[in-house]
Each structure stands twice: as structure tokens, then as C-alpha cells.
Structure 1
Amino acid sequence: MSVTVKTAQQIFDQVLNKEELFILDVRNKDDFKDWKIEGKQIDHFNIPYFELIDGVEEIMDKIPSDKEIIVVCAKEGSSKMVAEMLSEQGLTASYLKGGMKSWSEYLYKTEVYSDDKMKVYQFVRVGKGCLSYMIVSGEEALIVDPSRFTDIYKKAAKDEGVNITHIVDSHLHADHISGGRILAEETGANYYLMKSEGAIFDFKALENYNKIDFEHVSLEVIAVKTPGHTPGSVSFFVNEKVLFSGDTIFVSGLGRPDLGGKVREWAKDLYDTVYNKVSLITDDVIVLPAHYADFEEEVNVAGYIGEILGEIRKQNEMMSNQSESDFVEHVAQSASSETPPNFEEIIAINRGVEEAEEEKQQELEIGPNRCAVHHTN
């Protein structure tokens, strides 16, 4: 039998369609435990590639003979060889093109919201749990929290017949490299970031803006300063319809304020955000976060990651009827010792303090995001 090559998009489509999959992951056990392709209909078997160098005979009783075996490794080479071994044993085998690196980098676009003033698109980075957005209005577009794959946003804008004129980052990202500065250079758009995040390149400081207007439309973007995840975290409240919450509020939890080593101090800021700022926003507003933890749990029936604020309030015990002291204590107890992989280097790159070639950026980003603290029932 011949071996089939599968792209990250093809595998994601199978996950999205809730197809039953069997994945043979030949990375080392720690990497597999830390981060893998996930889904309720996926069965995994993990064995390091070096244990299969002499053949796959010893694992034949551990893998099904009546379904396709999708072999996964870090970058493709090992999985291709194992898939060929399985094929020689008469099994239907395929491998993930580009390995988990390609899974980490795949994004797909879906429409979130549309009215007579704007359209909102969400870009889901399925292997990282990262979310970015494009707001289209008139002949212009604003990009929220762009990834480093800037061509995706430029193509989306071209498809809409609009120009990217504004780019905003809700905070200095710790788990992935922002495309904001590069995208601004490529498009001539204004790039906005909080000055308090410590970036050393040229940008427009969000501290100086209460709103960002699109030139020819009545589209208002209000930056609600919401420290919590990092000292310069913000959210963006658009047309009183959509709240881009950054890493402050997730569908399934709140942002983690412990990455700066000031968990109790920043937890108080997060409390102020939730109880004195977000509390003024109505229940019917759509919340669109910068990350998600579990795609199948958090994707809604419309096919995007997001939820109305009222529903998030119902599900999240920490967003109502909590004293500041109880809130801070709960968040402090939930603080994790696990940080996003390579987060200090990634933060340095996003500040402009360090530079990295594409291959280095790929290596730094591989792995899960760990930016949420879950407080849901």
C-alpha cells in the first residue's frame, strides 16, 4: 500500500467533523504529554521513534488494523519512515506533512459577526490555541492580535477589497510572536500597543487613545484598559457589540496574572477589570478572547470561539459576588508553575529587544499556550 500525506488542514477538518482518528505519535514521551493533536474522537498511541528503528512488529498488536493510522512526529521525517513501515505491514498509513511544526502554524478563518457597519472574522491557530481577528468596515480593516503569519491577513484583506489601516495588540504576548510590527511595516498601517509593555520600537501608545476611528465609517473602537495578564493588557469594545478581551476573559476562564511574578498585585488589577469595568458591559455583548484552552469545549454552534458575556458570567463563579480578597486568594491558589514554553525569549522578541530568524521563531513557538486560569464550575 502507498503512504498518504496529510496536511494540518485536512486533519483539522477531520477533527472539526468529529471523525474517529487514530494517531501514532512518535515523539518522545515528554513532548507528547505536554502537547498533542487533541479531540474527543481521537485515539492516541505514543512510542518514541528510536524504539521503532528496527521495525514496527512489536507494536502491531497495539494499533488497529481496520482504520487509517496517522503518524505524527516533530517535523515530518520520522513519521514518514514509520508510516512506510506500517504500509509494508499491510496497514493504511499516512503522516502529517511538516509534523507538529505545521500543526502549530495552521490557521483557519471563520466569520464571527456581521451587520450593516462591520464584519468580524476570527483566525484560529488550532495547534496553539491562539486567536486573532480582522474587523472590516467600508474600505478599511483593523487587525487584532495578529500572528507572525502576516500573509494570511493581507490575503484576507485583499479578498474583502479593503486596506489594513490599523493593527492592535491587546498585550505583549508570551506564548507566540506577534506579527503586529511586521504587518504594519508591510501595509503602512498604524500599530498600537500599550507603552507600559516596554516595547522599544516605534508604535502608537494605546495610553493616548480612548478610541480608534476608521476613516470613512462610524465604527468606534474603545480600548478598555484592563491590566491582569500583563501590566499593559487591554480589551477592545467595538460598537457596543463585540468585546475583544485579549487574555483577560476567556470562554472558559480568566487570564493568568502570574507570568510577571506579581500574582497578588496583578490579581487585584484583574479583579478591578472584572468588577469595575467589564461589569458595566451588557450581557448580550459577544466576547472574543485571544486564546482558548479546549477547541471542542469552547467552539460554539456558529463555529467560532466566543460567547456572549452573560453566559460567561453564568459559567464563571469568579465573575460575580466575590470579595476582592477571596478573588485574589483564588487566583493566587490557581497560579501555575507551568509557563508558556520559551516565554521570556518570546517576550523579548515582541518587545524588540531581541531578533530571531524564522527557523528560531518556529522552534520558540512549538508547544501549548498556558495563558488561562480556569475558574469555571
Structure 2
Amino acid sequence: MLTGMTAKEVAKMVKNKEDLFILDVRNQSDYQDWKIEGEKVSSINVPYFDLLDGVEGVLKQLPTDNKLLVVCAKEGSSKFVAEQLVEAGLQDVSYLEGGMKSWSEHLEQVLVYADEQLKVYQYLRMGKGCLSYMVISGEEALVVDPSRFTDVYMEAAKQEGAKITHIVDSHLHADHISGGKTLADQTGAAYYMMKSEGAVFDFMPFEEHDRIRFAHVDLRVLAVKTPGHTPGSVSFFVNDKLLFSGDTIFVGGLGRPDLGGKVQEWAKDLYDTVYEKIAAMADDVIVLPGHYANLDQEVNAAGYVGAELGAIRAGNELMNQQDKQAFVDQVVANAQTETPPNFEEIIAINRGVDVASPERQQELEIGPNRCALHHTH
């Protein structure tokens, strides 16, 4: 029987490490650039145009004892192929509703932390590798690095009986469109970012607001302050327990400092960040990054992407490379990787100097994130 499968259902299977076999019928280049991955996910790529005359040639490559999901860019092609497979006698066949566009846009909510004073949710954008957060205390909520899917955060705050009063962006994002300005307009919340990032609309500059307090939350902005990825990157230290590290520190690496064309200069800033600001923090601080590269390796037993700072230090050679020049040389050597797709246009939109329709925003964001330097052992 043929059924549609939602991105949420796929995300659950990936996170729960359930067996899933995917027949991806997009073009080979699209598949090689970006696909659904997971520890128990297997996939093959046979372009749709190779299946127009029938699916008989691909049947031997498909499992008969496993769930089969057919995937394309928008849905139509995968539904057509899935129907042919059912007619050919396969049993457990689904197609991805909304295609890879829906996979790119799904946010998975996970509880990260809760005590008497606050509660923290992480939002995994599994098709993009992006992470955003909501910190709730009393009847107020703060959103960290929101995606453009602002209804998700507003609904979550409503469920918690809270109002979104503060929104923070750790830097001017290069791989996805921020929802910060839109969410602020929708909720009346105060929206903060660094003035040095060059946004042209009204916001609260961290240069003048380096501490945000509400209910039982004390957020300190580690600013000008955690540069490296961009010159105005910041991290947020909440109640001396949680470090929302933006694109500065990841579970498996550090932020890449080459996107602005000043890799030597920004690599030195990144060194100072790691060896001065971050070095002073306790090992049991929980690091909550802005991105991840490999969910299987970076998600922890509690189901979210994050780790104690001590564990990240121990596993990351760049954070144990004491010599500044050796650190800079290694960062420079590893920084010449492919830039995020469309990053200049995305930055222009996030800065407020360009506008894009919802359809164009969707097109700009399709594909993986490429914002990390990974050096994990």
C-alpha cells in the first residue's frame, strides 16, 4: 500500500535509529550535494528520468523486508515512482510529502534542560543542520537564533503559557534566513544583535546591551566578543550553566573564519576566543551550538545536540593546540572548503538590504550547512 510520509515522521525515524531505505530520484548532483542521512538510513540515487519507462531495472536494488521511502525535490516525481513500485508488487512503500523542500524546513523540538528557574528547548532543523533555542522562565521566553519559521516558536511559547519578550541572533547567518526581525515584528519582543554585523533595520545592539535579565534568567553576552566566524559573532552564557555558542564552538569543531575573506585575521580572533574567554569556563558548562554536521555523532543520549565543555575540549585538537601560530596555520589550511550556497544573497537579506519572496527564500536555503571546521578525535 502506498502512503505519504511527513518530514516529521522521517525525522522521528532518523532520531530513533529505525531502519529506513531511501530511493532518491533527484538528479545525481543534487543527491551528492545533500541527502537524508542517519545511522540506520541507507539510500541509492536513480534519477527520475531513468525510471520514466518503468521501475523494473531498479527492483533488484530495493529491499523487500524494509520500509522504502521515495524522495524527490517537491513530491510529484517521488509519488509517481512510488506508485509504480507498488504496482510492481512492493509492499511497504512511502513517498516524502512535500519532497526535500519539506525536509529542509522541518524543526524538531527537544527538551534540553529544566530546573526550577528555567526550561530550554532545542529546535533541530535536521535537513539543514541548523539549531535554534527557546529559553522559558516565568511567563517570558527568549529565542536564540530563530529560523524563518516563526510560527513554531510562537506556538511553543503559547503551549508554555509564556510570551516571547527577547530574541537574539548570535551573528549574521550565512546559510539560512533569520526569523529574528519577523518574529520581533510579530510579538513586539526586543531583538538584539551586534551593530558591527551591519544590519540596516532597528534592533538593540549588544554593544549597548551586554546583559539580558528576565524572570530567573541572567544572560551574559560574550561579545565583540566571540569573533572568529564573523567579526561580530557572540555567544550567550545563561545562568553560568549553559553556553549558547552560536557558530563559535560546535560539539565536533569550531566555526569557520574564512567567509569574510579575512581568514588569517579572524583565525587569530578565534584563537583568542578559545584560549581566553572559553578557557575560563568550567568543564561542566553545557555547550549548545548553532549548527551540527553529523547528527549520529553529535546528538547525545538525551536526544539533543550539545555536550559538556570539558568533553568538547578533550575531543577537539584545535582547542588543545597551545601555540597561536600553529592554530592559525591549521585553521587556514582547513578553511578553504566550499562556501554555503547563496551565502552572499542570504547575508544581504539578513542584513535587511535585500528582500526575497517566500518562494525565493525556500530556494536559497535548499542544501546542507557548511559553517564548521571539524577536527574531532
TM over 0.5: yes
TM-score range, shorter chain: over 0.9
- Runs of 4 or more, structure 1, over 4 Å off, are none
- Check the 8 A contact 1:315/1:376 in 2, yes or no: yes
SS at match of 1:312: helix
Distance 1:154 1:247 in 2: 24
1:242 counterpart residue number: 242
* Unaligned stretches of 5+ residues in structure 1: none
- 1:84-99 aligned at under 5 Å gives the runs 84-92=83-91, 93-99=93-99
- Check the 8 A contact 1:25/1:47 in 2, yes or no: yes
1:328 counterpart residue number: 328
Deviation at 1:138, TM superposition (A): 1.1
Deviation at 1:43, TM superposition (A): 1.5
Distance 2:209 2:271 in 1: 23
- 1:244-263 aligned at under 5 Å gives the runs 244-263=244-263
1:41 counterpart residue number: 40
Give the partner amino acid of 1:84. Answer: E
SS at match of 1:208: coil
2:229 counterpart residue number: 229
2:71 counterpart residue number: 72
Distance 1:39 1:167 in 2: 31
2:204 counterpart residue number: 204
1:63 counterpart residue number: 62
Distance 1:19 1:204 in 2: 44
Give the partner amino acid of 2:40. Answer: Q
SS at match of 2:192: strand
SS at match of 1:364: helix
Q: How many residues were matched structurally?
A: 374
Task: Quote the sequence identity (%).
Answer: 65
Give the partner amino acid of 2:112. Answer: V
1:339 counterpart residue number: 339
- Check the 8 A contact 2:136/2:142 in 1, yes or no: yes
1:373 counterpart residue number: 373
Q: Does 1:220 pair with 2:218?
A: yes
**Superposition CA RMSD, Å:** 0.9
- 1:150-171 deviation line (CA, Å, top 9, x unaligned): 0000001001111110000000
SS at match of 2:142: strand
- Check the 8 A contact 2:19/2:67 in 1, yes or no: no
Distance 1:307 1:65 in 2: 39
- 1:139-159 deviation line (CA, Å, top 9, x unaligned): 111100000000000001001
* Unaligned stretches of 5+ residues in structure 2: none
- 1:181-216 deviation line (CA, Å, top 9, x unaligned): 0000000000001111111011011111220111xx
* TM-score (ref. length: structure 1): 0.98
Deviation at 1:321, TM superposition (A): 4.2
Distance 2:240 2:343 in 1: 33
SS at match of 1:79: helix
- Check the 8 A contact 1:229/1:247 in 2, yes or no: yes
Structure 1 residues 218 and 12, CA gap change in structure 2 (3 angstroms): closer
Deviation at 1:337, TM superposition (A): 3.0
- Check the 8 A contact 1:68/1:91 in 2, yes or no: no
Give the partner amino acid of 2:244. Answer: F
Distance 2:339 2:272 in 1: 24
2:127 counterpart residue number: 127
Distance 2:288 2:66 in 1: 37
Give the partner amino acid of 1:269. Answer: D
- Check the 8 A contact 2:118/2:216 in 1, yes or no: no
